[in-house]
């Protein structure tokens, strides 16, 4: 299979490394200098050092063609940009007749609506005819590039897109499960980043394993409530893109979002925490859009709200925890309004 990966960050590069062992992959970088550096060194020294590109991977930049033109020479297109660039990329690919899937997780900052949109909602606005899906699940780029066992979810409302993603990435070290619940898969990917900041804060304040377990469990309940309100299926949140991705991101030492929480607990400012990462932490940018979307749907998300208050500087780390623990008693399960 011929695969085009648009975006040469850590995750896009890792998938190119993984798929390049069995397929022909073009790894496209927007910056020609970055593309030249990757091609010369045989690895992405900036975003994923230590992992060599296999012979099946070719590096390209706009000098070799823009995304829409390159897409026609490939059988599958993977958009590996941050959420902030998804709209622009899907707009460029709107006439593409190849399956397209994105990797980014989060809600877009408000553009055409007073609230942020998920990836499939952006696609519906700018490229409604695109055969599209999302590849998600618990996955750190370094482990994927190192061929360590990983399981992902290929989600789309089209069987041909799901089949293409499974054919491209299912292999000896990676299992890919098909799912037609794009809403649930995307909500899980977006909300878990916000909850990972909260869990990092909990660990940074040394609140203990009981507190961590409570945050992960109640965070999963918040994620599920929002997903159901948006039309997702409950069982999706007990799968890889829900519980699986939440556990990994909230507890894994490679998690950038968890790292933000740890640094805030140490007294670092948000600017200092983000700058120290060297990569995008999507939870920082999508926390407000998650909470605003939930508010408009009448869904309570107190943990996500506490993260927003912390990121906005309205409360100190210890105060955020005190606010959560000081809430009144409530039933463990709640009925959730659903979008019509």
What's residue 273's pLDDT?
A: 87
**3-state SS assignment for residue 6:** strand
- C-alpha torsion sign, points 154, 155, 159, 161: negative
Q: Per-residue b/e over 132-166, b at no fewer than 16 CB within 10 Å?
A: bbbbbbbbbbebbbeeeebebbbbbeeeebbebbb
Report the candidate in 188, 180, 187, 247 with the shortest Cα–Cα distance to residue 213: 247
Write out pLDDT tens, residues 219-247. 999 999 999 999 999 999 999 999 999 99
Catalytic residue status for 192 = yes
pLDDT score recorded for residue 322: 80
Distance CA 144, CA 231 (A): 31
pLDDT exceeds 60 at position 107 = yes
Per-residue pLDDT of 307-333, as tens digits, reads 999 999 999 988 888 877 766 556 667
Nearest-10 Cα torsion for 37, 31, 10, 130: -140
Q: Quote the CA–CA distance of 7 and 272 in Å, as a whole number.
A: 26
Strand (E) or helix (H) holding 150: strand 150-155
The CA distance from 31 to 94, in Å, is: 22
The confidence score (pLDDT) of residue 105 equals 93
| Residue 327 confidence (pLDDT) | 62
The pTM of this model reads 0.92
Average pLDDT over residues 173-191: 97
Q: Which of 105, 192, 314, 335 is catalytic?
A: 192
User: For residue 270, what pLDDT is reported?
Assistant: 87
Q: pLDDT tens for residues 68-77?
A: 999 999 999 9
Reported as a single tens digit per residue, the pLDDT across 35-44 is 999 999 999 9
pLDDT at 170 over 70: yes
Region for residue 50 given its phi and psi (left: phi exceeds 0; alpha: psi -120 to 50; beta: otherwise): left
Query: What pLDDT is recorded for position 274?
Result: 83
The answer on pLDDT for 282 being more than 90 is no
Sign of the alpha-carbon dihedral angle for 143, 145, 146, 147: positive
Taking Cα atoms as reference points, which of 285, 284, 183, 180 lies closest to residue 224?
Answer: 183
For residue 292, what pLDDT band results from cuts at 50, 70 and 90?
very high
The predicted model gives 243-269 an average pLDDT of: 93
The three-class DSSP label of residue 61 is: coil
Distance CA 39, CA 27 (A): 10
The confidence band for 146, taking pLDDT boundaries of 50, 70 and 90, is: very high
Query: What does DSSP assign to residue 219?
Result: H
Q: For the ranges 84-88, 110-114, 177-181, 223-227, which has the lowest average pLDDT? A: 110-114
Q: DSSP H helical segments within 93-158, as ranges?
A: 119-126, 141-145
Name the token pair of 76: 């599958």
pLDDT at 280 (0 to 100): 66
């Amino acid at each position: 299979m011929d695969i085009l990966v648009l975006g040469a960050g850590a995750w896009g590069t890792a998938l190119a490394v993984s798929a390049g062992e069995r397929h022909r992959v073009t790894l496209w970088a927007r910056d020609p200098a970055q593309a030249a550096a990757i091609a010369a060194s045989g690895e992405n020294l900036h975003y994923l050092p230590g992992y060599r590109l296999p012979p099946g991977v070719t590096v390209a930049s706009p000098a070799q063609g823009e995304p829409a033109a390159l897409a026609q020479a490939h059988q599958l297109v993977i958009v590996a940009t941050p959420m902030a660039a998804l709209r622009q990329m899907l707009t460029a690919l709107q006439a593409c007749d190849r399956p397209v899937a994105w990797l980014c997780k989060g809600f877009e900052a408000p553009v055409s609506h007073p609230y942020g949109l998920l990836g499939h909602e952006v696609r519906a606005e700018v490229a409604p005819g695109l055969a599209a899906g999302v590849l998600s699940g618990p996955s750190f780029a370094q482990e994927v590039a190192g061929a360590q066992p990983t399981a992902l979810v290929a989600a789309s409302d089209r069987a041909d897109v799901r089949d293409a993603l499974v054919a491209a990435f299912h292999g000896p070290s990676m299992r890919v499960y098909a799912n037609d619940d794009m809403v649930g898969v995307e909500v899980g990917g977006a909300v878990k980043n916000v909850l990972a900041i909260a869990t990092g804060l909990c660990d940074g304040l040394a609140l203990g394993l009981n507190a961590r377990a409570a945050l992960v469990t109640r965070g999963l309940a918040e994620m599920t409530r929002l997903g159901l309100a948006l039309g997702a299926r409950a069982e999706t949140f007990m799968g890889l893109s829900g519980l699986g991705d939440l556990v990994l991101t909230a507890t894994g030492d490679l998690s950038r979002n968890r790292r933000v929480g740890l640094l805030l607990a140490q007294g670092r400012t948000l600017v200092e925490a983000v700058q120290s990462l060297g990569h995008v932490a999507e939870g920082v940018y999508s926390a407000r859009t998650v909470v605003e979307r939930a508010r408009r749907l009448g869904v309570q998300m107190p943990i996500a709200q506490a993260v927003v208050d912390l990121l906005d500087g309205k409360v100190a780390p210890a105060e955020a925890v005190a606010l959560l623990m000081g809430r009144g008693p409530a039933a463990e399960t709640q009925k959730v309004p659903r979008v019509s």
